[in-house]
Structure 1
Amino acid sequence: MRSGFSANCPLVRLTHAFDSFGLREDSSAPGLVAQVDQHVAGVRDSLSRDGLPLTRRSLTHYLQGFLDGCRERGWHSDGADYDWETLRLLAVCRLAREEGFVC
């Protein structure tokens, strides 16, 4: 792991937790992969509209705000379905991995 990274970082914790049921590159559900791709684009667009470059810090802040909103709405993932929130979280995980923010 790069220096300056912490296992306590929300991106690291989330990505490692979601790895247990998240999408793999060899996923047999191409429609699901396409949905996550759309969410990846949505996260990038959201950061861009806010004038933020995609960095570990900006993605972490996005994640924290997103999770706060989920908690306010009472959302809980049971891991049994890929609802909108779960797809968005998988997108954040993918971005964190692709950008090298999480090993």
Structure 2
Amino acid sequence: MKEIKAYIRKKQLDAVINALAQVQGLSGVSVNTITGFGRSRGILRMVDFETHLKVEAVCPDNVKDAVVRTILDAAHTGKRGDGKVFVTEVAEAWRIESKDEIRPAL
């Protein structure tokens, strides 16, 4: 399984979520409001925190490429500050309700 974290512009959320809803094999996403700074800090010579959104999803390995491509396409404006996408390996996952290990659908 893969965990995908995407940091996107707030105004791109609807496009990203609507596009991700069409990806077969993706069971859901989480969205959080975050603040931080990126490459522009050196240009301004002071830290200005920007508000972005973090979209997180865990999916089977065979769905990862579709999820990443969908986010890249839907979040893209072509301007600095569009965001980043990170992919990491998930070693284990457990459902709290039933205490069952979550196994990805193949």
Give me the TM-score of the superposition, normalised by structure 1.
0.27
Higher strand share: 2
Give me the TM-score of the superposition, normalised by structure 2.
0.26
Higher-Rg structure is 2
